[in-house]
Structure 1
Amino acid sequence: MEFTTLSFRVEDGIGHLRFIRPDLHNRFDEAQHAEFPKAIAPLAARTDLAALVISAEGRSFSAGGDLDMMLRANQSEALRLRLTGEGLAIIEGLLAIPYPVIAAVQGAAVGLGASVIGCCDIVVAARQVKIADPHVVLGLVAGDGGLMAWSQSVGVMRAKRYLLTGDAITAEQAHAMGMVSDLVETPEEVLPAAEAIARRIAALPRCGVRGTKRAFSRLSRDLFGAAFELSFAYEMDVISGEEVRGAVEAAQAAMKARKA
């Protein structure tokens, strides 16, 4: 398949999926929100892969949801339905991959970007990168995987602390809490470190690795699956409201003021 927001290649039994729009901070606008689940869905059936590395170009891993897209969803039920289906497919698609998924986080992971890394099996990050889920700041429910990703990574109490405030943490803090498995000093070290782990896994007997990954995915579904689906439904319910529209427009105005 051909994509405009990401690239995919296979080398020595390892899949490499990469966000390729650094000028847009690899944000999840309509294009990336549609292409990412399409890219990962076929990977569940790949018997030739031992691991998948998800990385990104530029200063940001992903800036999360596009604000203009949120305003369009505020006014369009059709778009809200589409985003619901794609959002569910993103998280389910990551869980369905029967081999380890490694996130190489060289820059900020925000909103859905943070949810993606939280649903990966191994997370390598540079010490000072920012991780945040500011859904509530925009009047939104943290429903696009945030509840599952943060709860299984840092524990329910800490997940509440950061999902109910939208406060950011550094990768160093995330490492102490359990969301980041491997910490490196600089963004340049992230991808080589992630690829080294992937090669280590690729050298192991695949039956044991795959069975272990499947068991962990079952654990995630059993513990958080129902709550994740409910939180997503809540998010799509509130996104059509005036409060969300006002908060998003205020965020856009603040961004323009900072750039002026």
Structure 2
Amino acid sequence: MVDYSKYKFVKVERKEKVAILTLNNPDEMNAIGRAEHGEVEQIWEDMNHDNEVHAVILTGAGRAFSAGGDINLMVNGFTDHSIRIPSTSVKRIIVNLINMRKPIIAAINGACAGLGATIALHCDVVLASEKARIGDPHIGVGLIPGDGGIIIWPLLVGMAKAKQYLMTGDMVTAPEAERIGLITKVVPPDQLMDEAWNWARRFADGPQMALSFTKMLLNKIIEDRVNLLFDATIAYEYHTLNSADHLEAAKSFLEKRKPQFSSLEGEQWVF
């Protein structure tokens, strides 16, 4: 039996061959900081090795699924590089997630942004409350989506819509997300977990080998894109982390004002 007592951010409940994973820091909208990265990276390997689990539900505590990266870490990390999250951790989260053999149902209960959205969108079935909003706001803080958003969005919604949302940082309402194919289904808020449970039970009672092989073959398409692009997205994100625009975004956040971006004015670009 796998021991989940080491997890603090990820709350693990198991019943009837289903694991319910709850991102559990509601006061911070389940933001994923340095310590949380390690848990979100490791949990998928533990789930893979837990023979008592045949399907997984992933949701968030409180009013958010996950706000994504910790904004305070982004701000402070500009001047203190020692607190930055290693790029290998970011990649391992997504690699471990797509290598997870068992079906995962994301139950998006509220705000779902950045890395939180990337994690949710890599799940096999993505359900969202009618009140949920999904997006990748990296561009608003002078960064590129280096955590996998550039990979998964065009696979789900096509290049035109991916560019629309990744290059503006606009959030998508749940009904619109369903319409464009970003998610599987919109559900009334009070029915979200019941719907997720129905999906999980169906998978848990299904033919495990066939389900696993079908999922893994489909995920080979995502894996190919990860192998093609992920290292490059990390490199470009680290370049933007050191940019004048990101510094301005950090300053404007602390000063509670709108950023004035100016990186075209003499800044060296590396391609």
Structure 1 length-normalised TM: 0.91
Percent same amino acid among aligned pairs? 29
Runs of 4 or more above 6 Å deviation: none
> In the TM superposition, what is the alpha-carbon distance from 1:170 to its structure 2 partner?
0.3
Aligned residue among 46, 53, 78 for 2:50: 46
- Tell me if 1:181 matches 2:184: yes
Residue 195 of structure 2: aligned partner: 193
- Tell me if 1:98 matches 2:95: no
> In the TM superposition, what is the alpha-carbon distance from 1:41 to its structure 2 partner?
2.5
Q: Mean alpha-carbon deviation: is it higher for 190-199 or for 7-16?
A: 7-16
CA distance in 2, matches of 1:35, 1:249: 30
Helix, strand or coil for the counterpart of 1:75? coil
Aligned residue pairs, count: 253
Aligned residue among 105, 109, 112 for 2:112: 109
Helix, strand or coil for the counterpart of 1:53? strand
Aligned residue among 117, 122, 130 for 1:119: 122
Residue 7 of structure 1: aligned partner: 11
Helix, strand or coil for the counterpart of 2:20? strand
- Cα deviation code 1:61-106 (max 9, x no counterpart): 11111111112322344444x4312111111111010121110001
CA distance in 2, matches of 1:101, 1:233: 29
Greater C-alpha radius of gyration: 2
CA distance in 2, matches of 1:232, 1:87: 9
Residue 70 of structure 2: aligned partner: 66
Aligned residue among 87, 92, 101 for 2:90: 87
Contact 2:109/2:131 (8 A) holds in 1: no
User: Any gaps of 5 or more consecutive residues in structure 2?
Assistant: 258-271
Q: Mean alpha-carbon deviation: is it higher for 238-247 or for 83-92?
A: 238-247
Structure 2 length-normalised TM: 0.88
Contact 1:33/1:83 (8 A) holds in 2: no
- Tell me if 1:172 matches 2:181: no
Contact 1:73/1:240 (8 A) holds in 2: no
CA distance in 2, matches of 1:139, 1:11: 43
User: Any gaps of 5 or more consecutive residues in structure 1?
Assistant: 256-260
Provide the alpha-carbon RMSD of the alignment: 1.7
